[in-house]
């Protein structure tokens, strides 16, 4: 054992040996435990400490070597210290984790760090670097997306390699998505109470290793092979033009509250890593609902998070992050603080400030709902968008005014500090809650399979079952449910901001009414790739929506609409006009009517003020969106020729394919009437009235 170096933290292999470094401000001695293939332990004491970093260098130790630490120090829970020299502790900076059976007596909880070789042949890999404005995100679970896919070799199903398979890549690219947002792939552990029920932690929001790809998602091995397999997946996704965004859980760890296990952080330096109760240092201050929260004002916790983020970008080539319960990360003390050290570090970092940053802008603490309040660098999961669109298509009173704000990018939430529509990540469904099919099939959650007496999960889902709870053979109900799914998908893809699809919604995935399938690693939560005619039609419809959005910049503007401001300058028509079904423009009184459930929206492709990336003017088709959220058919009168002389139907959600088959059903002249089926949406377009240089086109 040589003295080694205090940096980098973790296990760093240099081709001749490995340097080990561990932070602990409370340790009195740190033992490095090397684990041989047969389970035999070799213990050596780290010989040096600098700035609370204990370190040593072991020659002739390299990739595949399993290891852990034993930390000697105070066991004084009342003072916040929980050192236990008998506990085998996982390195917080482990680049790979080998997870033994929890019953293996050799290791506490069966977690070993693994020394890895960082070398990898990227073959010139580059990020697609899609702009926020052009982005379409697909939220996916590595295992759930691939576990039953017939086009994925059986041995690769449920793995990183399976996600990188040609069949999965073809599906993703056919949807015109630009990024895959992976549910947690950091190393996580199982919950004992779930194992006792015969269940497991499926979602993975129970992190223990912030630098290690989860070993159970690897087909090639768990002694470092998982790192190369993960990198290979990223490389394949990039080659297909897809970015990789990781859902990261830096707000808490898997060690839970004071009754939880000692796996890593708690036994290394409990008081440095965790927020403790002001009244009782033996207990934890929890704003996450998981039992603990990381101490976001401690420099070594902030270093851990920033080092982890940089590692995934620089070493693993990921393109961005979605931060789970991000409000907790901004709590240096009790309040959510936009001036917190965490935001400052992100803003100043030359690596992390240049990737995509998405916040889940809430937690369970006081004042935790922070939609619209994150700094300008960030985008946010817009929970208000989700709720508003659900209310609209359920025909709830007073839903129209807020929906109008959400459809156009939520300027009321983001424009005040000069943020743009890309700040809003729009979604109808996500992993947490009903799937899209269940949203239109159930009024209430059905979570009995979770073993919690149906008390878990959200009770207020803003859902509507279309008249029957759960599965039905009634043709009218099934047709309405299919139409409602098309309505939600079309609204999502027509909204300003960044749309996010939840995996399987394009296939009509159901969880049988379970809106909290966090523990269901089985057919209930996996994407079912054996689908029928209805599901196939929905998939084709979703693909057409992706193509439509990709082709038309007016549907994905970089800046907010100006609306009445443009009209005041004398330019007509404005870039955005709201109309009643009779073709007249809406007034303030119309917006206040509680039972208003229909409107037409004019999007002017001739009035896009922002240039393209090369500085050229942007001219596009103009669109007329006809929303009928009433329970009966309506006739819409098209506006006068000022807005367009002739309109073409691009999408009709009343039709299974979304498109009329006959040409004479597609063409509509100004000031004529157009029937719109109850609870449906029609999208019309007409070509530009001026060319790229501003001249009026012959049409």
Sheet holding 17-23: strands in order across?
10-13, 17-23, 53-59, 48-50
Catalytic residues: 324, 360
Residues 118 and 315: beta-carbon distance below 8 Å: yes
d(CA 505, CA 149): 15
- pLDDT > 90 fraction of the chain, expressed in percent and rounded: 92
Q: What is the DSSP letter of 79?
A: G
* pLDDT band per the 50, 70, 90 thresholds, residue 558: very high
Q: What integer pLDDT is reported at residue 105 of this predicted model?
A: 32
At 613 the pLDDT is 87
Domain covering 554-686, topology = Immunoglobulin-like (2.60.40)
CATH 2.60.40.1180 residue ranges in the chain? 554-686
Segment 119-161, tens digit of pLDDT: 999 999 999 999 999 999 999 999 999 999 999 999 999 999 9
pTM score = 0.96
Residues 6+ positions from 211 with CB-CB distance below 8 Å: 10, 92, 93, 94, 95, 186, 307, 308, 311
Q: Under a CB-based contact definition with an 8 Å cutoff, are residues 289 and 362 in contact?
A: no
Give 59's strand partners: 17
CA distance linking residue 307 with residue 136, whole number of Å? 28
Query: Which has the closest alpha carbon to 257: 298, 279, 304, 289?
Result: 289
> How far is Cα 403 from Cα 391, in angstroms, rounded to an integer?
8
Model pLDDT for residues 255-302, shown as the tens digit of each residue: 999 999 999 999 999 999 999 999 999 999 999 999 999 999 999 999
Give the confidence band of 396 by pLDDT, cuts at 50, 70, 90: very high
Residue (of 607, 601, 545) closest to 577 by Cα position: 601
Mean pLDDT of the chain: 95
Domain 10-114 homologous superfamily, CATH: Immunoglobulins (2.60.40.10)
Residue of 562, 608, 600 lying closest to 583 (CA atoms): 600
Contacts of 279 (CB under 8 A, 6+ apart): none
Residue 411 near residue 431 (C-beta atoms within 8 A): no
| CA distance to 106, 192, 305, per residue, from 113 (Å) | 14, 21, 18
Provide DSSP, 305-338.
HHHHHHHHHHTT---EEEETTHHHHT-SSSS--T
User: Position of tokens 């830096």?
Assistant: 250
pLDDT digits 0-9 by tens, 69-117: 999 999 999 999 999 999 999 999 999 999 976 434 334 548 999 999 9
pLDDT digits 0-9 by tens, 397-409: 999 999 999 999 9
Categorize the per-residue pLDDT at 569 as very low, low, confident or very high, splitting at 50, 70 and 90. Answer: low
d(CA 617, CA 88): 63
Residue 570 has pLDDT above 60, yes or no: no
Every domain of the chain with CATH number 2.60.40.10 lies at 10-114
Residue 664: phi and psi, rounded to 5, are -70, -15
Phi-psi region of 367 (alpha: psi -120 to 50; beta: other; left: phi over 0): left
Give the pLDDT of residue 697: 43
- CA-nearest of 674, 672, 697, 673 to 687 is 697
* DSSP, residue by residue, 397-442: TT-HHHHHHHHTT-HHHHGGGT--GGGEEEES--SSS--HHHHTT-
CA distances (Å), origin 602, targets 142, 302, 412, 578, 599: 40, 47, 20, 6, 10
> 546's torsion region: left (phi>0), alpha (psi -120 to 50) or beta?
alpha
Per DSSP bridges, beta strands 179-182 and 243-248 are parallel
Range name among 257-266, 368-377, 660-669 with the lowest pLDDT average: 660-669
Does the structure show a pLDDT above 60 at 305?
yes
Beta bridge pairs of residue 624: 602, 684
Mean pLDDT of 686-690: 89
Question: Cis omega before residue 120 (within 30°)?
Answer: no
Q: Which residues contact 121 (CB under 8 A, 6 or more apart)?
A: none
φ, ψ (nearest 5 deg) of residue 83: -70, 140
Q: What is the pLDDT of residues 308-360, one digit of tens each?
A: 999 999 999 999 999 999 999 999 998 998 889 999 999 999 999 999 999 99
pLDDT on residue 691 = 58
Query: How do residues 215-263 score in pLDDT, each as one tens digit?
Result: 999 999 999 999 999 999 999 999 999 999 999 999 999 999 999 999 9
∠ Cα 523 358 346 (to 5°)? 135
Helices then strands (H, E): number in the chain?
17, 29
Please tell me what DSSP assigns to residue 663. Answer: G
Angle, vertex CA 608, rays to CA 607 and CA 612, nearest 5: 150
User: Above 60 in pLDDT, residue 571?
Assistant: no
Q: Is 11 helix (H, G, I), strand (E, B) or coil?
A: strand
The helix (H) or strand (E) run that includes residue 107 is none
Question: Above 90 in pLDDT, residue 62?
Answer: yes
- Show the CA angle centred on residue 181, arms to residues 553 and 264, nearest 5°: 150
């Amino acid at each position: 054992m040589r003295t080694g170096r205090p940096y980098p933290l973790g296990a760093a292999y240099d081709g001749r040996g490995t340097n080990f470094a561990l932070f602990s401000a409370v340790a009195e001695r740190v033992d490095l435990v090397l684990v041989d293939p047969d389970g035999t332990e070799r213990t050596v004491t780290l010989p040096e400490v600098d700035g609370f970093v204990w370190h040593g260098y072991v020659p002739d130790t390299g990739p595949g070597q399993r290891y852990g630490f034993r930390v000697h120090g105070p066991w004084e829970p009342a003072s916040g210290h929980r050192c236990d020299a008998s506990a085998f502790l996982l390195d917080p900076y482990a680049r790979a984790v080998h997870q033994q059976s929890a019953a293996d007596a050799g290791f506490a909880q069966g977690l070993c760090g693994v020394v890895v070789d960082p070398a990898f042949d990227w073959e010139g890999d580059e990020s697609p670097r899609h702009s926020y404005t052009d982005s379409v995100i697909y939220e996916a679970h590595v295992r759930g997306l691939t576990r039953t896919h017939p086009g994925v070799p059986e041995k690769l199903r449920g793995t990183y390699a399976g996600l990188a398979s040609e069949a999965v890549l073809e599906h993703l690219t056919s949807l015109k998505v630009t990024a895959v947002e992976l549910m947690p792939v950091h190393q996580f552990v199982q919950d004992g109470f779930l194992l006792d029920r015969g269940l497991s932690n499926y979602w993975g929001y129970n992190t223990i290793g912030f630098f290690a790809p989860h070993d159970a998602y690897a087909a090639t091995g768990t002694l470092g092979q998982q790192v190369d397999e993960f990198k290979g997946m990223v490389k394949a996704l990039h080659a297909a033009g897809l970015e990789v965004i990781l859902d990261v859980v830096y707000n808490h760890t898997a060690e839970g509250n004071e009754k939880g296990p000692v796996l890593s952080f708690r036994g290394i330096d409990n008081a440095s890593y965790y927020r403790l109760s002001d009244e009782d240092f033996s207990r934890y201050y929890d704003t996450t609902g998981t039992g603990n929260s990381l101490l976001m004002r401690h420099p070594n916790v902030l270093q851990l998070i920033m080092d982890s983020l940089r590692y995934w970008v620089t070493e693993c080539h990921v393109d961005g992050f979605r931060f789970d319960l991000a409000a907790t990360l901004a709590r240096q003390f009790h309040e959510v603080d936009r001036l917190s050290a965490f935001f400052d570090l992100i803003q100043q970092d030359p690596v992390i400030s240049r990737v995509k940053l998405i916040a889940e802008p809430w937690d369970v603490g006081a004042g935790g709902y922070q939609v619209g309040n994150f700094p300008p660098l960030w985008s946010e999961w817009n929970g208000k968008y989700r709720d508003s669109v659900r209310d609209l298509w359920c025909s709830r009173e007073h839903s129209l005014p807020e929906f109008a704000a959400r459809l156009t990018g939520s300027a009321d939430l983001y424009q005040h500090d000069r943020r743009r529509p890309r700040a809003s990540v729009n979604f109808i469904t996500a992993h947490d809650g009903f799937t899209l099919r269940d949203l239109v099939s159930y009024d209430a959650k059905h979570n009995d399979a979770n073993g919690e007496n149906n008390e878990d999960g959200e009770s207020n889902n803003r859902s509507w079952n279309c008249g029957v709870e759960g599965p039905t053979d009634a043709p009218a109900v099934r047709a309405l449910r299919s139409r409602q799914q098309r309505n939600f998908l079309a609204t999502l893809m027509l909204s300003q901001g960044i749309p996010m699809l939840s995996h399987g919604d394009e296939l009509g995935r159901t969880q049988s009414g379970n809106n909290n399938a966090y523990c269901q690693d089985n057919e209930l939560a996996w994407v079912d790739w054996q689908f029928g005619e209805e599901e196939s039609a929905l998939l084709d419809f979703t693909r057409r929506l992706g193509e439509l959005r990709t082709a038309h910049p007016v549907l994905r503007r970089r800046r907010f609409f100006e609306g009445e401001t443009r009209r005041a300058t004398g330019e007509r028509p404005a870039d955005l006009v709201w109309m009643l079904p009779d073709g007249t423009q809406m007034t303030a009184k119309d917006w206040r009517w509680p039972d208003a459930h229909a409107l037409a929206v004019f999007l002017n492709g001739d009035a896009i003020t922002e240039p393209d990336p090369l500085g050229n003017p942007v001219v596009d088709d103009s669109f007329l969106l006809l929303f009928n959220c009433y329970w009966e058919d309506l006739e819409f009168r098209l506006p006068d020729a000022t807005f367009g002389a002739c309109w073409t139907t691009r999408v009709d959600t009343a039709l299974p394919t979304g498109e009329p088959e006959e040409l004479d059903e597609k063409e509509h002249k100004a000031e004529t009437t157009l029937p719109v089926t109850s609870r449906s949406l029609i999208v019309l377009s007409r070509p530009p009235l001026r060319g790229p240089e501003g001249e009026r086109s012959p049409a």
